[in-house]
Amino acid sequence: MNNTLNKKTPAELVKNFVSDNKVILMFVVLSIVCILISGANVSYVAGEVFSRFGRNTCLVLALIIPCMAGLGMNFGIVVGAIAAQISIFWIVHWGFVGVPGFLLCVAMSTPLALLFGWLTGMLFNKTKGSEMVAGLVLGFFAAGLYRLFTLYIMGGVIPYDDPNLLDRGFGLRNAFDLTGNLKYSVDDITFLTTASVLGVVYLLYTLVVYLHGKKFGEGVDTKKFVMQLIAGAVVVVFGIVGKMIPFVATKLGKNRVILADAVMLLAVGLLVYAVVLFIKNRPAKGTPAFNKVLKFAVLAVILFVTNMIPGVNKVYRSVRLPAMTFAVIAFFAAFNDWLVNTRLGQNMRTVGQNRSVATSAGIDVDKTRIIATCISTVLAAWGQLIFLQNLGTFNTVQQQDNVGLYSVAAILVGGANVQKATNKQAVIGVILFHTLFVVAPLAATELVGDSAISEYIRMFFSYGVIAVSLAMHASKKGGKKAKAA
Amino acid sequence: MENKYVLKMEGITKEYFGNKVLKGVDLKVRPGEIHALMGENGAGKSTLMNILFGMPVIHSTGGFGGTIEFNGEPVNIENPHKAMQLGIGMVHQEFMLIPGFTVAENVKLGREISKATIASSVFGKSLERLDKPAMAEDTRVALNTIGLGVEDYAMVAGMPVGYMQFVEIAREIDKTGIKLMIFDEPTAVLTESEADRLLDTMRVIASKGIAIIFITHRINEVIEVTDSMTVLRDGTFVDRLETKDTTAARIAELMIGRQVEKLVDDMEEDNRKISDEDIMLELKNFYVDMPGEKVKGIDLKLRRGEILGIGGLAGQGKVGIPNGILGLYPASGEIHFDGESIDPTKLGDALHKGIAFVSEDRRGVGLLLKESIEQNITFTATQIQGKFLKHFGPFTQVDYKATKKHAQDMIKALDIRCTGPEQYSGRLSGGNQQKVCLARAITMDPKLLIVSEPTRGIDIGAKKLVLELLAKMNREQGMTIIMVSSELNELRSLCDRIAIVSDGKLTGIFAPDASDAEYGLAMSGVTEGGNA
Amino acid sequence: MTKDKIKKAIDAIGLPRLIVFCFFMAIVITAAVNDIDVASYFSSTLKYFGMWGILVLAMLPSIKCGIGPNFGVSLGIVCGLLGTLLAIQFNIAPAVEGILPGFGPWASMFFAIILSAVLSWLVGIAYGKLLNMVKGSEMTVTTYVGYSAIYLMCIVWFRAPFNSGEIIWPLGGVGVRNSVALETSFGWLLNDFLGFNIGPVFIPTGIILAVLLVSGFVFLYFRSKTGIAITAAGSNPTFARASGIDVDKMRVKGIALSTVLGAIGIIIYNQGFGYLQAYTAPLAMGFICVASILIGGATTTKATIMNVLIGTFLYQGLIIFTPPVSNHLLAGTDISDTMRQIIQNGVILYALAQTKGGD
């Protein structure tokens, strides 16, 4: 295999790269063209894209697990979003605000989303082969029930005595304002606090792993455990002490981190990591381990240098990142990765590849599919909470409607298909899709003097990319079947 | 060899809806022995294996009679899981593999090795973390045992078919405590050299004390590799033989066995004139790519006015011949028919030139189950010959009056038991459905009628009626008929000549009264010959 | 009657159909009891039945040829819109009116129908070929292709080089207006044609005749040689092949016919409405058509003309009778659109769950 790869000429490599990434490349080109046409301010575009990235990525990451289990793109995440919105109505009504309010929303939406996910999973088991269209119709159907609930039942049948939120005595107002209660509740957590929290979580985790290992006699590495404890403690202490050091506090103690600072931090982090790796393993020159160290070091230098370029630095300085939100995104991605490597994840992959083989290997196919749907729905509910706390105000009745469409379109733009989707594709997809989302209206305004058309272009792209991706996948599948026949 | 048996099945009986498919069968296998299970299609081999494997289909249809002893203990195998626990493994005919997984993942499918985690202590075993190094290690051991030189981390997708089979075997080997392995026609999909390697591997496995039940149609393989065999015929136990004491011809004879049952009553005098000069259909170098029924180069001549039988074991290609002629599967070669040539790549060409076909897949291909009998009978004639149509300029309308009239005639002529021509064909019994299919073929007034497995799945009374109908059409109307059937007995009672197909090739054309041994050898592809 | 028999009867009618029918009857009875003007709402129901009839009929050929309900009927709809706009752009109605007084609107409508029929036939053939490549996922693909087509046409409408003052935005704008009046072309032409009153109920004879006429054509088409071949190809492709039928070709014919019916359907719809709505207005139409035929008793694999007629009537009746009743009962609240959303999508979900999908 390796030999044949090495034999490929550069031209072939380029050709392979292009054909493997044609969707991504098409969107990159399209985005660049739009930016050029619109003459948009890059700082503005970068700021918008990063803020949309923080808002949308969790929802998109919720699509990966059902895809792995062979359910295709889960348009049913709409019901997860509904679970999140219902929980917000009550938590806000009961007067909870800020981080506790957000955590209560999580706590309340989780069982709701599990219930909805379970029902969705049962529906998908009855519609094997057309899960995607079923998910889409389910979204519309659930939106109807939800509308009935918000407009007629809340305050009508169920007492909901909140004149500020109600329209004409019953039924929620059209727009639900989160300002002053949940808005930015996660986004505003500072980098230093995030570090402390993560440090504490890490300490607890290592402690539990250690005790667990001791209890079940799996053998524990006490030296490693101590090192882990020290590392965790350092992070916690950094988080606390950092607030008292003026320089650190101004950089990392505010509710957002400037991208320029984040880049520098990342560069320093990478460099430290590279040094630690080098000292620990002392790899000989030319070995893969050495190359790894080198790679990190070079990456750090590149980041450092880009930050020095005035134009780039200007863009970097204009983007502000919410630390905790990015940590949550990382957690979602890590969860997906972790699940793949469990028994359950392996079962899901098997079910996704071939249901009859899975059955013959003793896997309960229907149950596995329901679990995948439930996980996806819960992640979607949490993702929608992240989305809404950033947005600050939402359309009570219709907010969830396009959740499925935009998330699916984004991940497909990132190069995923109906059978295979990864974290990386989700991240790339969100960036590209939303870049286009931001710049297409600007370009349209520049071209035809009217931004109204951009809405159509956006929707056309969203649906078009889904239609093309589905058709390509279906025809590949059909072709294979014909070949086998 | 010690005389203790690892598996002892005695007096096994099984009924499906009153139809006895196993009538007291014994099967005994010693440890480390390769034991062939022989028999024609429908002899009861797969039912027997389903019983041994505890398949749900057995228990949902009322269980079975007789006793099973495994390792000297009487056992009750109520589900496949139990069978696996006992140490019975099966290498399926269709691969139970996932192409997108590595070899190790496939070998360990459903039996992954995993380590406890915190999440698994809370939420259960399914959240344990996979131990990939351990899985790879086990896989390497299994692969080494059978001598397959692939890496544990290689993807199964893209491997040659033969390798996939070996991965399946590695999976069974890897199961701890495996004592008996069933190979269900494993060589059917392999190339010759792959098949040889498989036989070698079977010897290696057997030398480790694991018993093997080998299901195959290839007598030469049986002679080459097995120690002993059990022969079944029509659900009855024929004999258990030691391979060294027997010959290929003897095995073939046992498998086929002449039955005295008479299927067609003596017909009126035969005043047909059949001549070797008057050839109606000729196939030259004919190939058909029908999955599971490949035809690999056949030359065949059909004389006008005769009934030609095409026999052979399932999967050997006999069914592929008519399907290829009709253009239903990709085919190549020459077809000369009554002075014209037929293009098998052109769908409907054979129909247009006067060949009618009754498919072996009655419910799948033969009928529109949710349409009326009249619609079913007239459909092909309407489409191909424009019968039962009224024309209005360029527009057409189906003439429902004529359709009904014709359907009623056919119902009467063929004695189709139904509530009327409007009844859905899906509601009819198998025999009556077959008559509807025949009626559709006759409606086309074909020069040549090809019937494939005309009696499959219908009861004995209906069987007789169908065969008599074919005989009558041949004698009275002089219709030339090709009849493809797995039931040799049926072919022998009706046909003028019987061509036997094995492995996609013609292995002989025989007179109906040729000996069982001749037929048996031709069917197992051992010799070429024939004298009819 | 025993429990078993009742269960069998419910199974035969289908649970959602039964619910919808009972719901409809309950609403009509409530309306009558509460002194709501049933007659005038019944008149509207008849009119809307006529307007939607052919659009729903477009589902029939696609179900019969084995593709399933055509969620992508919007492809035909946009062709119909284009034909209508061209008829206006070319001033067909006034031009013909000048030569043959009284025939202007008819000429305009037939021009639109013929033009869009040709267009949609071509589009339908291409669409059918696409669907032949995606066998097994037709419903999913049709849904998204339909949506994309509508937004693609939105972009077209936005900058299409029409210059008729009735089409473009007022004050010298560019592109098609949100809603184009059909007053000067063929608005309300069929609704008023031979219309008469039975007591307080107005019978829109022309439009009902149009639906019956087109239904009749489709009925006869499915009794022709090609028609029964399409049906056979849909219900058992291997059977059809064994009878020498090119299944893929039959599927293309079925979906092309469906697309043409979609085009004609939207023209008939628009004339009844009096306006042509471009842009995103047709977005929901595909789903409404699918829901209607399913309510009428069709499944994703089998449908008849009766399913179309009954389904359209029930669905439209429901939509027209619910608002006044809910207004009356719930003191000024219009719950009808919410109910429509739930019923419409519930019926489609039920049908999807009944189809034993997958391998």
| CATH code assigned at C54 | 1.10.3470
Query: Whose CA is closest to A398, among A93, A134, A144?
Result: A144
Higher pLDDT, B393 or C285: C285
Question: Does residue B237 sit in the same domain as residue B173?
Answer: yes
Q: Which chains touch C (3 or more CB pairs under 8 A)?
A: A, B
Convert A77-129 into a string of H (helix), E (strand) and C (coil). Answer: HHHHHHHHHHHHHHHHHCCCCHHHHHHHHHHHHHHHHHHHHHHHHHHHHHCCC
In this structure, are residues B375 and B443 in contact, taking their beta carbons and an 8 Å threshold? Answer: no
Question: Does residue B272 sit in the same domain as residue B228?
Answer: no
Mean pLDDT score, A397-421: 89
Question: Does residue B376 sit in the same domain as residue B457?
Answer: no
Query: Whose CA is closest to B386, among B451, B435, B337, B443?
Result: B443
- Tally of domains within chain B: 3
Mark yes or no for CB contact C141/A467 under 8 Å: yes
Average pLDDT, chain A: 86
For C282, phi and psi rounded to 5 degrees? -80, 0
- Tally of domains within chain C: 1
Question: Does residue B152 sit in the same domain as residue B11?
Answer: yes
Domain that includes residue C89, residue range: 16-27+35-353
Residue A485: per-residue pLDDT: 33
Question: Does residue A147 sit in the same domain as residue A256?
Answer: no
Domain end point (choices B256, B277, B307)? B256
The chain C residue lying nearest B363, using CA atoms, is C239
Cα-based torsion angle of the residue sequence A341, A343, A348, A349 in order, rounded to the nearest 10 degrees: 50
**Chain C: nearest CA to A307, how far in angstroms?**
41
Question: Does residue A33 sit in the same domain as residue A172?
Answer: yes
**Chain B: nearest CA to C65, how far in angstroms?**
14
Q: Which chains touch A (3 or more CB pairs under 8 A)?
A: B, C
Question: Does residue A76 sit in the same domain as residue A150?
Answer: yes
Work out the burial of residue A105: count CB atoms within 10 Å of its CB; fewer than 13 is exposed, 13-18 middle, 19 or more buried. Answer: buried
Question: Does residue B202 sit in the same domain as residue B336?
Answer: no
Q: What is the pLDDT of residues C129-173, one digit of tens each?
A: 999 988 878 888 888 889 999 999 998 888 888 888 788 877 767
Question: Does residue B328 sit in the same domain as residue B453?
Answer: yes
> What band does A8 get if pLDDT is binned at 50, 70 and 90?
low
A8 domain-assigned: no
Secondary structure class of A70 (helix, strand, coil):
coil
Of B98, B99, B128, the CB nearest to A343: B128
A303 domain-assigned: yes
CA angle, residues A117, A119, A120, in degrees to nearest 5 = 60
Strands B236-242 and B88-91: unpaired
Domain end point (choices B428, B445, B462)? B445
Q: Is the pLDDT of residue A481 over 50?
A: no
Of C71, C133, C143, the CB nearest to A478: C133
> What band does A1 get if pLDDT is binned at 50, 70 and 90?
very low
Q: What is the pLDDT of residues A218-260, one digit of tens each?
A: 667 788 888 889 989 999 998 888 888 888 888 888 888 888 8
Mutate to test the interface with C, among B319, B323, B383 (most CBs of C within 10 A): B383
Domain that includes residue B410, residue range: 366-445
Secondary structure class of A172 (helix, strand, coil):
strand
Mean pLDDT score, A372-378: 96
> What band does B260 get if pLDDT is binned at 50, 70 and 90?
very low
Mutate to test the interface with C, among B369, B396, B436, B452 (most CBs of C within 10 A): B396
The chain A residue lying nearest C143, using CA atoms, is A133
Question: Does residue A216 sit in the same domain as residue A280?
Answer: yes
The percentage of residues in chain C with a pLDDT greater than 90, rounded to a whole number, is 39
**Chain A: nearest CA to C21, how far in angstroms?**
19
A1 domain-assigned: no
Convert chain C into a string of H (helix), E (strand) and C (coil). Answer: CCHHHHHHHHHHHCHHHHHHHHHHHHHHHHHHHCCCCHHHHHHHHHHHHHHHHHHHHCHHHHHHCCCCCCHHHHHHHHHHHHHHHHHHHCCHHHHHHHHCCCCHHHHHHHHHHHHHHHHHHHHHHHHHHHHHHCCCCHHHHHHHHHHHHHHHHHHHHHHCCCCCCCCECCCCCCCECCEEECCCCCCCHHHHCCCEEECCEEECHHHHHHHHHHHHHHHHHCCCHHHHHHHHHHHCHHHHHHCCCCHHHHHHHHHHHHHHHHHHHHHHHHHHHCEEECCCHHHHHHHHHHHHHHHCCCCCCCCCHHHHHHHHHHHHHHHHHHHHHHHHHCCCCCCHHHHHHHHHHHHHHHHHHHCCCCC
C230 domain-assigned: yes
Q: What is the pLDDT of residues C187-216, one digit of tens each?
A: 777 777 777 878 787 888 888 999 999 999
Mark yes or no for CB contact A354/B81 under 8 Å: no
Residue A373: per-residue pLDDT: 96
d(CA C254, CA C234): 9
Mutate to test the interface with A, among B105, B130, B164, B323 (most CBs of A within 10 A): B130
Mark yes or no for CB contact A478/C147 under 8 Å: no
Give the Cβ contact number of residue A417 at 10 Å.
Answer: 18
CATH number for the domain that contains residue B247:
3.40.50.300
Domain that includes residue A309, residue range: 191-320
d(CA B522, CA B531): 12
Question: Does residue A150 sit in the same domain as residue A208?
Answer: no
Residue A5: per-residue pLDDT: 44
C168 domain-assigned: yes
The residue type of C49 is: F
Contacts of B350 (CB under 8 A, 6+ apart): B325, B326, B327, B335, B337, B342, B344, B357
d(CA A168, CA C333): 10
Query: Whose CA is closest to A35, among A442, A332, A340?
Result: A442
Of B359, B369, B396, the CB nearest to C225: B396
Q: Is the pLDDT of residue B531 over 60?
A: no
Of A130, A473, A478, the CB nearest to C357: A130
Domain end point (choices B389, B415, B445)? B445
Q: Say which range, A373-377, A404-408, B313-317, has the weakest mean pLDDT.
A: B313-317
Mean pLDDT score, A210-222: 75
Of A342, A357, A360, the CB nearest to B128: A342
Hey, which of A109-113, B224-228, B289-293, B373-377 has the most confident mean pLDDT?
A: A109-113
d(CA A382, CA A84): 7
The chain A residue lying nearest B91, using CA atoms, is A360
The chain C residue lying nearest A124, using CA atoms, is C353
In this structure, are residues A274 and A289 in contact, taking their beta carbons and an 8 Å threshold? Answer: no
For B130, phi and psi rounded to 5 degrees? -65, 140
**Chain C: nearest CA to A172, how far in angstroms?**
13
Secondary structure class of A35 (helix, strand, coil):
helix
Q: Both tokens of residue A462?
A: 């969203």
Question: Does residue B176 sit in the same domain as residue B216?
Answer: yes
Q: Both tokens of residue A216?
A: 């079940």
Mark yes or no for CB contact A133/C130 under 8 Å: no
- On whether any CB of chain A is under 8 Å from the CB of C126, the answer is no
Residue B1: per-residue pLDDT: 40
Question: Does residue A150 sit in the same domain as residue A209?
Answer: no
Mean pLDDT score, B208-222: 85
Query: Whose CA is closest to A355, among A367, A337, A340?
Result: A367
Domain end point (choices A320, A347, A380)? A320
B-chain residues near A360 (CB < 8 A): 92, 96
Q: Is the pLDDT of residue B180 over 70?
A: yes
**Chain A: nearest CA to C253, how far in angstroms?**
20
Mark yes or no for CB contact A362/B81 under 8 Å: yes
Mark yes or no for CB contact C232/B368 under 8 Å: yes
Residue C359: per-residue pLDDT: 35
CB pairs below 8 Å between A and C: how many?
135
The chain C residue lying nearest B325, using CA atoms, is C242
**Chain B: nearest CA to C145, how far in angstroms?**
30
d(CA B257, CA C342): 67
Residue A125: per-residue pLDDT: 93
In this structure, are residues B137 and B169 in contact, taking their beta carbons and an 8 Å threshold? Answer: no
Q: What is the pLDDT of residues C284-323, one digit of tens each?
A: 899 999 999 998 888 888 899 999 999 999 999 988 888 8
Question: Does residue B239 sit in the same domain as residue B327?
Answer: no
Question: Does residue B370 sit in the same domain as residue B499?
Answer: no
Work out the burial of residue A418: count CB atoms within 10 Å of its CB; fewer than 13 is exposed, 13-18 middle, 19 or more buried. Answer: buried
Residue B175: per-residue pLDDT: 82
For A171, phi and psi rounded to 5 degrees? 85, 135
Question: In what helix (H) or strand (E) does residue B211 lie, and over which residues does it extend?
Answer: strand B211-215
The chain A residue lying nearest C337, using CA atoms, is A144
The residue type of B168 is: E
Residue B494: per-residue pLDDT: 87
CA angle, residues B508, B511, B512, in degrees to nearest 5 = 115
Question: Does residue B232 sit in the same domain as residue B375?
Answer: no
Strands B497-502 and B480-484: unpaired
The percentage of residues in chain B with a pLDDT greater than 90, rounded to a whole number, is 24
B241 domain-assigned: yes
Higher pLDDT, A163 or B410: B410
CB pairs below 8 Å between B and C: how many?
71
C3 domain-assigned: no
Burial A452-463 (b: 16+ CB within 10 A, else e): ebbebbbbbbbb
Mean pLDDT score, B213-230: 87
Q: Both tokens of residue B218?
A: 């290839």
Residue C331's Cα: distance from chain center in Å?
Answer: 33
Question: Does residue A167 sit in the same domain as residue A197?
Answer: no
**Chain A: nearest CA to C126, how far in angstroms?**
14
> What band does A7 get if pLDDT is binned at 50, 70 and 90?
low
Question: Does residue A301 sit in the same domain as residue A375?
Answer: no
Q: Which chains touch B (3 or more CB pairs under 8 A)?
A: A, C
Of C151, C335, C358, the CB nearest to A152: C335
Question: Does residue B117 sit in the same domain as residue B223?
Answer: yes
Q: What is the largest CA-CA distance in chain C?
A: 71
Q: How far is CA C6 from CA B519, C3, C11, in A?
A: 58, 5, 9
A414 domain-assigned: yes
A-chain residues near C155 (CB < 8 A): 453, 456-457, 460
Write the DSSP symbol of residue A13: H
Mean pLDDT score, B306-323: 88
A9 domain-assigned: no
> What band does B269 get if pLDDT is binned at 50, 70 and 90?
low
Mean pLDDT score, B79-102: 82
Query: Whose CA is closest to A478, among C359, B58, C14, C327?
Result: C359
Question: Does residue A130 sit in the same domain as residue A223?
Answer: no
d(CA B237, CA B255): 10
d(CA C27, CA A455): 39
Question: Does residue A68 sit in the same domain as residue A38?
Answer: yes
d(CA A7, CA B206): 44
Mean pLDDT score, B378-382: 92
Q: Both tokens of residue B435?
A: 């008559």
Of C220, C226, C244, the CB nearest to B348: C244
Residue B264: per-residue pLDDT: 64
Higher pLDDT, A23 or C108: C108
E strands, B247-337, in order: 279-288, 295-303, 307-311, 331-337
The percentage of residues in chain A with a pLDDT greater than 90, rounded to a whole number, is 37
Work out the burial of residue A441: count CB atoms within 10 Å of its CB; fewer than 13 is exposed, 13-18 middle, 19 or more buried. Answer: buried
Contacts of B277 (CB under 8 A, 6+ apart): none
Write the DSSP symbol of residue B266: P
Q: What is the pLDDT of residues C22-75, one digit of tens each?
A: 888 888 888 888 888 888 888 889 999 999 999 999 999 999 999 989 988 999
Of B96, B110, B116, the CB nearest to A216: B116
Q: Say which range, A86-95, B241-250, B508-517, C330-339, has the weakest mean pLDDT.
A: C330-339
Q: Is the pLDDT of residue A394 over 70?
A: yes
> What band does A138 get if pLDDT is binned at 50, 70 and 90?
very high
Mark yes or no for CB contact B380/C243 under 8 Å: yes
The chain B residue lying nearest A212, using CA atoms, is B118
- Tally of domains within chain A: 2
- What's this model's pTM, rounded to 2 decimal places? 0.86
Question: In what helix (H) or strand (E) does residue B199 lie, and over which residues does it extend?
Answer: helix B192-207
Query: Whose CA is closest to C110, among C134, C130, C90, C138?
Result: C90
Mutate to test the interface with A, among B96, B111, B135 (most CBs of A within 10 A): B96
Question: Does residue B377 sit in the same domain as residue B467?
Answer: no
Residues of C with CB under 8 A from a CB of B: 220, 223-226, 228-229, 232, 235-236, 238-239, 241-246, 302
The residue type of B268 is: E
Q: Is the pLDDT of residue A374 over 50?
A: yes
Q: Is the pLDDT of residue C1 over 70?
A: no
